[in-house]
Amino acid sequence: MKLISAIVCSAAVVGTSFLLSGTASAAQVRCVSEGGTDVTLIEERAGCRAASDGSGQAHAAGLDGVGYASAASGARALGIGAAGGVGVSEGSAGIPIAFGYGSDAVARTTVTTGDPAVSLAVTVALDGSRAQLRTEFGEVVCLGTAALAWDAATGRGCLATPFGRWLTPDAPSDQPVAE
């Protein structure tokens, strides 16, 4: 659990550094949606979309990547895509976070129901890897050499590294093996 916490904190720090202004020459866009708005921005190789209902908050960012966030029923969604990666975060409760970094990396987090106080779910995918987590106790997928998916409400998750793939004991064992 400490390893997962360290990875999540590291991903948050890296994600925050991409959102802060700097002197980088990469295309950067940021979308924020509250109170039922739907915002889409595209600039050069970056794109973002944030959509919410009247009670959700969605934040998305793209730094030479694509970020997407959708929030409903009080959810607070965050999706970040950087350096060719895609981060897709959707929630109708809780806090879904998705961070995709690197060419062809895709992170997708979906939180559908549950106690918003403990419904935190995170996916991180780097350089061509895939991470996906849906909940209501189904689907946890990590493929490639750098992927993480973790659900705080259930403790279910997975981690894919160049040295192998690890699943929490409650995660389904019928996932396809990364090649």
Inform me whether the pLDDT recorded for 9 exceeds 80.
no
DSSP 100-119: EESTT-EEEEEE-SS-TTT-
What single letter denotes the amino acid at residue 121?
Answer: A
Report the alpha-carbon distance of residue 133 to residue 109 in Å, rounded: 5
90 confidence band (pLDDT: 50, 70, 90): very high
The pLDDT value given to residue 1? 47
Q: Mean pLDDT across the chain, nearest whole number?
A: 82
Q: Which residues contact 9 (CB under 8 A, 6 or more apart)?
A: none
The pLDDT value given to residue 80? 97
136 confidence band (pLDDT: 50, 70, 90): confident
The pLDDT value given to residue 25? 61
**3-state class (DSSP) for residue 88:** strand
Inform me whether the pLDDT recorded for 120 exceeds 60.
yes
Higher confidence at residue 85 or residue 136?
85
What percentage of the chain exceeds 90 in pLDDT? Answer: 53
Higher confidence at residue 5 or residue 60?
60
Report the alpha-carbon distance of residue 18 to residue 63 in Å, rounded: 7
The pLDDT value given to residue 5? 52
The pLDDT value given to residue 108? 94
